[in-house]
């Protein structure tokens, strides 16, 4: 049985590749999804990929993941800096969580320096562009590799 990894993307990430390429690069979220799916094609992992602009929808997806997922890769977008509700939902999820940021939030405005999600994450990847999503997948490929 392949293990399911949820990939959750927060607000405005549907605009990836369409605006502000100097900060977020030129790849679209669909292209990121395609690369991730290709990477897990012959592996023990299977992906469910989501994007929502709504905090409650992201929380519902995390609750849903409790029943079926072996891990979460999350880019909470701006909710990283505001949402204790997403942190609470992740705290009720029992498998590993990796937080990804495309930009280096520590090099940007001070309001982006703190993420409520990071205290729950096994690891945080920031500033490596969309490569960060693939690196997060490497974590799960290694964690769940069959010897
Ligand atoms: O660097 C990241 O991945 C962020 O999570 C992206 C969020 C931002 O609020 C966080 O501080 C850091 C913003 C996502 C908005 O994405 C856009 C992409 C293209 C054009 C406009 C917005």
DSSP 3-state percent helix, strand, coil across the chain (nearest 5): 45, 20, 35
17 in a structural domain = yes
Which residue has a Cα nearest atom 2 of ligand 1? 101
Specify if 35 maps to a domain.
yes
18 assigned to some structural domain: yes
Range of the domain at 71: 3-100+121-143
pLDDT at 1: 82
For residue 147, the model assigns a pLDDT of: 78
24 C-alpha to center of ligand 1: Å?
Answer: 7
Q: What is the pLDDT of residues 112-129, one digit of tens each?
A: 999 999 999 999 999 999
* Local structure of residue 107 (DSSP, 8 states): G
Count of domains for the chain = 1
Is the C-beta atom of 109 inside 6 A of ligand 1? no
- The CATH number of whichever domain residue 129 belongs to comes to 3.40.50.9100
Model confidence pLDDT, tens digit, residues 48-105: 999 999 999 999 999 999 999 999 999 999 999 999 999 999 999 999 999 999 999 9
For residue 68, being part of any structural domain is answered with yes
130 falls within a domain: yes
User: Can you tell me the distance from the alpha carbon of 145 to that of 61, in angstroms, rounded to the nearest whole number?
Assistant: 25
Domain-embedded: residue 60? yes
Cα 95 off chain centre by:
14
User: Is residue 19 predicted with pLDDT exceeding 90?
Assistant: no
Q: 125 by DSSP, 3-state: which?
A: strand
């Amino acid at each position: 049985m392949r293990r399911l990894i949820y990939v959750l993307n927060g607000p405005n990430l549907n605009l990836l590749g369409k605006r502000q390429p100097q900060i977020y690069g030129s790849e679209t979220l669909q292209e990121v999804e395609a690369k991730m799916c290709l990477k897990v094609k012959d592996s023990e992992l299977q992906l469910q990929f989501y994007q929502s602009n709504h905090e409650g929808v992201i929380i519902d997806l995390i609750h849903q993941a409790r029943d079926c997922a072996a891990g979460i890769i999350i880019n909470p977008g701006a909710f990283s800096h505001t949402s204790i509700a997403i942190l609470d939902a992740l705290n009720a999820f029992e498998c590993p969580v990796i937080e990804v940021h495309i930009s280096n939030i520590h090099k940007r405005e001070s309001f982006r320096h703190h993420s409520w999600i990071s205290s729950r994450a096994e690891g945080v990847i920031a500033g490596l562009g969309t490569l960060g999503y693939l690196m997060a997948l490497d974590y799960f490929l290694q964690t769940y590799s069959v010897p």
